[in-house]
A and B are shown apart, each in its own frame.
Chain A
Amino acid sequence: MKNAISALLLGTALAFAAGSVAFAQDKNIKIGVLTDNSGLYSDLSGAGSTLAAQMAVEDSGMAAKGWKIDVISADHQNKPDIAVNIARQWVDVEKVDIFMDVVSSGVALAVNNLVKEKNSVMINAGAATSDLTNAQCSPNTIHWVYDTYMLANSTGQALVKAGGDTWYFLTADYAFGTALERDTTAVVVKAGAKVIGTVKHPINSPDLSSFLLQAQASKAKIIGMANAGGDTTNTIKQASEFGIVAGGQKLAGLLLFITDVHSLGLKVAQGLSFTETFYWDLNDGTRAFAKRFSVRMKSKAQPSMVQAGVYSGLLHYFKALEQLGGNPHDGAKVVAKMKEMPTDDPLFGQGSIRADGRKIHPAYLFEVKTPAESKGPWDYYKLIGTTPGDQAFRPLSESACPLVKK
């Protein structure tokens, strides 16, 4: 009996040892790009995000070091229920290690819960809601590119400073729009402006003129567009049609992407100012990446900040895994390692990841060039201001995230 027990103990010990050896040598990574492949955000994320992930894999040189990396992608159709189903299957069946992109705030918040429950990893590059690193923060999630607080902070302050002291919001009626409106309201009210009204419109509205007329009637100096993608481009186009800008009101694009500007054309978009954290023509590093990216895109588009974020986020993830010496398939452990290490890549420069999962880098205030200023397709932005990383995002002292020790 005694022998039997010691044999059993020995066996267990051996199994443990074998297990840890296997663990140290496990160099398999499976990346799941969960994105909008067919809807209104598919140009700013979509296939371009999957391409960015593949480029990150190629550029990391991980394959030469014995790593085996797979990239898979799926269309969440901007529907949280569909996204969560795919995510569950990815973790349980496909053994996906990391979720990338996850554009659209409603989807991101839903997947955020699942990723935490399954101890997976999410580097969110696409969604805007600042709740991901505030009340809803998670030890498994990093919010990489931008968030509603940062957009509000940079664009909102700049516009109030330029004399925009009355605001009216045109808000997309879902998690993202509500968050963006809330965060912008806080910033502009603090800066001394007044919000005199708001109207919520259903997401994906082809005609926004009714809402624009209400904004026009409010006589607010600034009409804040708390929407994104096709909704924003339609708002801008129809606002110019109804003479809103000509009548002296100013449109504030709280979230615009380069793909939106491209779609609008400079004639309509010129003069808009808004905030992004990446522009392809910012420096040599971004230009080199953009050049390689656009030749591989079917539409020959330059990368959006979301797609750039997928690339940059993955590079950092790979660095963390290399430091760990293998893939532990333990999301919280990898994310903790990523937070320890400073970030550095050609697209976003040097930065860091905070305890709440917020990636820190500078925010740039851009103005859209006039057709005369632009040298050709995709030459769209003028840089008019930079907010340093430590001032761009919500300060940890205001954070409601339980991961932040106070």
Chain B
Amino acid sequence: MQALYAQLLVGLINGSFYALLSLGLAVIFGMLNIINFAHGALYMMGAFCAYFLLNLAGIGYWPALILAPIVVGIFGMILERTMLQWLSGLDHLYGLLLTFGIALIVQGLFQNYFGSSGLPYAIPDELKGGINLGFMFLPIYRGWVVVFSLVVCIATWYLIEKTRLGANLRAATENPTLVRAFGINVPRMITLTYGLGVGLAALAGVLSAPINQVRPLMGADLIIVVFAVVVIGGMGSIMGSIITGFALGVIEGLTKYVYPEASNTVVFVLMVLVLLVKPTGLTGRAA
């Protein structure tokens, strides 16, 4: 029974990465209608950015938590300005292929220079060590990841669903021409939104750097699962992707306890079941 609690908690930790990443994807899909396959590569860039900040500029974990998402977010906005914006209004397939290609190029470049084994990134001193919870030894850093990503997820949800800015944004997706007529610069808003989604991916990358090795393929390993999470949660639904992210982390954790061999397939089995029963995803609206 104790082991079960421990597995649930570990699942929650993994779930926070799923949630952060799928949230970014949901924001981008919901607002830009782009299936952003470059998300994994951008997540990886976030981790590398933290590594470079530390090793080239001596800038530690805490500033990196803010700087890396900004740097990678700017990179994302350049991508949007120079390439993605020309695909608006076209079939989803074009955006998917373009971003998939970008992901392969970025990963290839990083792998060419840094190999596949990865680079070390230490846990910041303030978050070293752990607490004995009785049923498990919880590393403080992992606890921090859960709390921090939960806060970020809720803040993002609040920004888009409850503020005036978010309202403008949602209106711009519904009817860009009308929103422009109100004097709002819609293309700039779209670019910033893409930057926000990308920044979330980079943030997840910085958070995961001390846990996993900083590896060029770290995003590729994760992105497929995250897409399954988004599909299960309902494409474009902000709250849906947050909740499914955490929930699937927990379900995966349980599988690792009950039948470890199936732990990397369970998410996809769930995806198939959800698609069969409710093709729009658990919280998705019909298109």
**Contacts known (A211-B260, A233-B213, A263-B118); A206 close to B221, Cβ less than 8 A:** yes
A302 to chain B, nearest CB (A): 13
**Tally of A-B residue pairs with Cβ under 8 A?**
113
Listed stretches B21-29, B30-38, B89-97, B136-144; interface member: B136-144
Q: Which residues of chain B are near A301, meaning CB under 8 Å? A: 115
User: A230 near B253 (CB under 8 angstroms)?
Assistant: no
Q: Which residues of chain A are near B221, meaning CB under 8 Å? A: 204, 206
Q: Is B3 engaged at the interface, CB distance under 8 Å to the other chain? A: yes
**Contacts known (A210-B253, A216-B137, A268-B120); A205 close to B213, Cβ less than 8 A:** no
How many A residues, CB 8 Å from partner? 45
**Contacts known (A205-B264, A241-B123); A210 close to B256, Cβ less than 8 A:** yes
Q: Is B111 engaged at the interface, CB distance under 8 Å to the other chain? A: yes
Q: Which residues of chain B are near A268, meaning CB under 8 Å? A: 120
User: A210 near B10 (CB under 8 angstroms)?
Assistant: yes
Q: Is B185 engaged at the interface, CB distance under 8 Å to the other chain? A: no
CA distance A400 to B6 in the complex (A): 44
B6 to chain A, nearest CB (A): 5
Q: Which residues of chain B are near A299, meaning CB under 8 Å? A: 113-115
Please, which residue of chain A has its CB at the minimum distance from the CB of B114?
Answer: A299
User: B213 near A263 (CB under 8 angstroms)?
Assistant: yes
B279 to chain A, nearest CB (A): 28
Q: Is A238 engaged at the interface, CB distance under 8 Å to the other chain? A: yes
Q: Is B75 engaged at the interface, CB distance under 8 Å to the other chain? A: no
Q: Which residue of B3, B10, B122, B260 contacts A209 across the interface (Cβ within 8 Å)? A: B10
User: A260 near B117 (CB under 8 angstroms)?
Assistant: yes
Q: Is A63 engaged at the interface, CB distance under 8 Å to the other chain? A: no
User: A201 near B139 (CB under 8 angstroms)?
Assistant: no
CA distance A200 to B142 in the complex (A): 23
CA distance A43 to B116 in the complex (A): 6
Interface size class of B (residues with CB under 8 A): 35 or more
CA distance A78 to B111 in the complex (A): 17
Task: Scan residues 148-202 of chain A and give those whose CB is less than 8 A from a CB of chain B.
Answer: 173, 199-202
| Max chain B C-beta neighbours (<10 A), residue from A214, A241, A262, A299 | A241
Q: Is A386 engaged at the interface, CB distance under 8 Å to the other chain? A: no
CA distance A260 to B256 in the complex (A): 25
Listed stretches A20-28, A34-42, A64-72, A99-107; interface member: A34-42
Q: Which residues of chain A are near B114, meaning CB under 8 Å? A: 299
User: Interface code A36-55, partner B: CB below 8 Å = 1, 0 otherwise?
Assistant: 00111111101000000000
CA distance A307 to B146 in the complex (A): 41
A243 to chain B, nearest CB (A): 5
CA distance A229 to B117 in the complex (A): 7
Q: Is A213 engaged at the interface, CB distance under 8 Å to the other chain? A: yes
A219 to chain B, nearest CB (A): 12
Q: Which residue of A200, A202, A230 contacts B213 across the interface (Cβ within 8 Å)? A: A230
Q: Is A267 engaged at the interface, CB distance under 8 Å to the other chain? A: yes
B interface residues with partner A (beta carbon < 8 Å):
2-3, 6-7, 10-11, 13-14, 111-120, 122-123, 130, 136-137, 139, 141-142, 211-213, 215, 217-218, 221-222, 253, 256-257, 260-261, 263-264
Give 6 closest A-B pairs by Cβ, nearest first: A263-B117, A210-B256, A265-B120, A202-B264, A43-B117, A43-B115
15 contacts between A and B (CB under 8 A): A38-B116, A42-B116, A46-B116, A200-B260, A202-B263, A202-B264, A205-B263, A206-B218, A207-B211, A210-B10, A237-B211, A241-B130, A247-B137, A265-B120, A267-B122
Q: A43-B115, A43-B116, A204-B221 are in contact. List 8 more A-B contacts (CB 8 A).
A: A41-B116, A173-B261, A206-B212, A209-B13, A210-B260, A230-B213, A242-B130, A268-B120
